[in-house]
Amino acid sequence: MRHKKLTTSLIAVLLLGCIALASYIHITNGVFDISVKDVLKTILGFEDDERFKLVIFEFRLPRIIIAAIVGVGLALAGVVLQGITRNPLADPGILGINAGAGTAIVLFMFFFQIQVVQADIQNWLAVMMMPIFGFVGGGLAAAIIFSFAYKQKRLDMQRLILTGIAINSGFSALSLFFSLKMNASDFEAAAVWMNGSIYNADWMFIWIILPLAVILAIYIFYKAHLLDYFQLGEENMISLGIKTESEKRKLMIASVGLVSACVSVSGSIGFIGLMAPHIAKQLVGNHHRSVVIISALMGAFLLIFADFIGKTVFAPLELSVGIVVSIIGIPYFLYLLIKTKA
């Protein structure tokens, strides 16, 4: 046990170093390059150049923080879904929870004419409503998926994946339908957001989703030991006196809450919830208390680095971070599919 804790600690420190490195290259590189000296002087308040303050505090720093929060949230949601379903291919994006939350927010944008991706939103109430709409949409998608995935009071893994794919397609089509009814400028904003984008990250978004993300992340870490028991099967959990359905419901609500908060500020970003838990398990084993920590850090690193790739590879044009993650995630998903089949 002590050896596992030491291994987890060392890997966590290494990942924190990777996050710091990714943040460093993200904040110093771009269309407007800034030296490390200028970055430190600006952050510490010793730099008077307004250009540096604008680029760092209004564009790059919020973007890095949002990427980290979303990466952590999606990774933890993936850990929970894979743990509850005992399905290594479970992911909020693949199962349609992202799409459900995204559709609800598109409806919010359509009926209330709020451009979620605009950084100049000053209506706190409107921004706060987005995670609520996302939670309703994500919860509805999860409820539909799990209601169809049960067969003879058991969660059928094949039905879960197939239902998730169908729900994902259905909600995606619904999002597209309503976005096409928007005017040109709103449609362009919605299209960028639906592809998964954080380039218009704003401090308001951070202050609104950070408390929710922290609370739910702590709750999932506190309940992580239950995910170990889920691997034994629900019958064994019941024999141990664990209220399986109640705990599953609570963990699902926490997972949907995280996904909804993330989708409300970044749009639909897939595969982070699939890749991060798998990489974490390869590094620290299947003990979920350790997996939760490493997955969270891995998710943050993956999304910060993917966002950096998206903003620099085709500069001055930008590639949505959701597209970059998909380019990496689809081959990884096929690899896991072949590995699982074998």
DSSP code of 315?
T
Q: Is the pLDDT of residue 210 over 50?
A: yes
- Cβ atoms within 10 Å of 97's Cβ, excluding its own: 35
Q: Which amino acid is at 129?
A: M
Q: Is the pLDDT of residue 192 over 80?
A: no
Q: Is the pLDDT of residue 67 over 90?
A: yes
34: confidence class by pLDDT, cuts 50, 70, 90? confident
- Rounded to two decimals, what is the model's pTM? 0.89
Any idea which residue has 């600690």 for tokens?
9
Q: What is the pLDDT of residue 68?
A: 96
Q: What is the pLDDT of residue 118?
A: 45
253: confidence class by pLDDT, cuts 50, 70, 90? confident
Q: Over the stretch 110-125, which tens digit does the pLDDT of each residue have?
A: 877 655 444 444 456 6
Q: Is the pLDDT of residue 163 over 70?
A: yes
What ranges in 29-85 are assigned the alpha helix state H? 36-43, 50-53, 61-85
Maximum mean pLDDT: which of 55-69, 101-115, 144-158, 293-307 = 293-307
> How far does the chain reach from its first CA to its final CA, in angstroms?
31
User: Range with the lowest mean pLDDT among 64-78, 137-151, 183-197, 320-334?
Assistant: 183-197
> Mean pLDDT across the chain, nearest whole number?
84
Which has more confidence, 126 or 239? 239
**Domain boundaries, given as residue ranges, for the chain:** 2-341
Distance CA 4, CA 2 (A): 5
Q: What is the pLDDT of residue 117?
A: 44
User: 2-341 in CATH: which number?
Assistant: 1.10.3470.10
Q: Is the pLDDT of residue 266 over 80?
A: yes
- Region 44-51: mean pLDDT is 78
Let me know if 201 is exposed, middle or buried by CB neighbors in 10 A (0-12, 13-18, 19+): buried
C-alpha dihedral over 19, 101, 81, 144, to 10 degrees? -170
Which has more confidence, 239 or 273? 273
Six-digit token pair at 325? 């993650």
DSSP string, 185-223: HHHHHHHHHHT---TT--HHHHHHHHHHHHHHHHHHHHT
Q: What is the pLDDT of residue 208?
A: 83
Return the closest-CA partner of residue 266 out of 210, 199, 327, 219. Answer: 199
Q: What is the pLDDT of residue 114?
A: 58
Distance CA 265, CA 268 (A): 9
Segment (H or E) for 44 = none
